[in-house]
Structure 1
Amino acid sequence: MEKYNKLRIEWDCRRGMLELDNIIMPFYKQHFDNLTETQKDQFIRLLACTDLQLFSWFFNRGTADDEELQNMVEYIQTMQKMPMA
């Protein structure tokens, strides 16, 4: 049995805001398998946050109080800026 239920994670990546869908789902599909176990856990924790929190963090209107979640937000933003191979 896998530690991560990928169908559940993919479902949780679907958000109520198109802006978030355009950030979170592509990151999940392209990078999740290559994350460390710690990063995977952080990503899953990030998905438990509300759309309003995520929107605020990803569009630089605020930062997460949780340093690990803020680090994951910044990591996702960095990966977005990298050219696709």
Structure 2
Amino acid sequence: MNEPSSPEAAQRKRLYWHSRRGMWELDLLLVPFLEQRYDGLAEEDQAAFRALIDEEDQDLFLWLMRRELPEEPVRRRIVQMIIEHAESADSVSHRPV
């Protein structure tokens, strides 16, 4: 486990706080993706996520609500990964017992 003061822990904390946008719809997509998928991503996809959360909320909202897709292929890929993660998590939570 990483020490609380390690560079990795500091980066993770920064990513978490930058993923919390204050817009409920974005928080529901970005935070679970960070917590459940980020560590398993390839370095290129982790870099794409880090770049994505630096975008403006209105752009993130359009992309993650599937109203538009980013033109840049790398950004489009990470957006689609986040959407697919949310859809798969949603389908699991609504399965009958």
TM over 0.5: yes
Aligned residues: 83
Query: Is residue 29 of structure 1 aligned with residue 35 of structure 2?
Result: yes
Larger RCO (CA within 8 A; separation ≥ 6): 1
Could you tell me which runs of 5 or more consecutive residues in structure 2 were left unpaired when the two chains were aligned: 1-6
TM-score by length of 2: 0.78
SS in 1 for 2:69: coil
Q: Distance in 1 between matches of 2:73 and 2:19?
A: 21
Return structure 1 stretches of 4+ with deviation > 6 angstroms: none
Alpha-carbon shift at residue 9 of structure 1 (Å): 0.7
Alpha-carbon shift at residue 29 of structure 1 (Å): 0.6
| Aligned CA-pair RMSD | 1.5
Alpha-carbon shift at residue 66 of structure 1 (Å): 1.5
Contact map agreement 1:9 1:44 (CA 8 A) in 2: yes
Could you tell me which runs of 5 or more consecutive residues in structure 1 were left unpaired when the two chains were aligned: none
Q: Partner amino acid for 1:73? A: V
